[in-house]
């Protein structure tokens, strides 16, 4: 069992209305000088061993389904251990 994280973000040249809305809301709440872009985070639990072939498969899955590569880019990275079963207690609790 391996954990892979795929981050999907709007390309820099693409408008990001969600991020703009969040940026505006932060300003109205008094949080100044923060500019936000919003994307998606996918945490994949991969059965079996994570070899190069399996990682290439994750790349293909990201390209085919998780990201719209016309307007988004994605990054794939391997995380050491499944962490979401124990979210950091000091944050966001």
Q: Which residues would be at the binding site for its own copies (CB under 8 A)? A: 7-9, 11-12, 19, 22, 25-26, 29, 31-48, 57-67, 69, 72-76, 84-88, 91-93
Q: Taken in order 51, 53, 60, 11, is the CA torsion positive or negative?
A: positive
User: What's the min distance (Å) between Cβ of 79 and its own copies?
Assistant: 11
Nearest to 74 by CA among 44, 51, 41: 41
Q: Which is nearer to its own copies, 25 or 78 (CB)?
A: 25
CB of 35 to its own copies, least distance (A): 4
Q: Residue 12 or residue 80: which is nearer to its own copies going by CB? A: 12
Give min distance, CB of 34 to its own copies, in A: 5
Which helix (DSSP H) or strand (DSSP E) does residue 28 occupy? Answer: helix 17-28
Report how far residue 20's alpha carbon sits from residue 91's, in angstroms, rounded to the nearest whole number. 25
Cα distance from N-terminal residue to C-terminal residue, the chain: 27
Least Cβ distance, residue 67 to its own copies (angstroms): 6
């Amino acid at each position: 069992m391996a954990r892979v994280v795929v981050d999907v973000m709007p390309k820099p040249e693409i408008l990001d209305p969600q991020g703009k809305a969040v940026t505006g809301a932060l300003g109205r709440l008094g949080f100044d000088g923060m500019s936000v872009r919003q994307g998606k985070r996918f945490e994949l639990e991969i059965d079996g061993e994570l070899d190069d072939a399996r990682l290439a498969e994750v790349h293909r899955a990201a390209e085919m389904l998780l990201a719209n590569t016309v307007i988004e880019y994605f990054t794939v990275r391997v995380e050491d251990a499944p962490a979401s079963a124990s979210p950091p207690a000091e944050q966001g609790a």
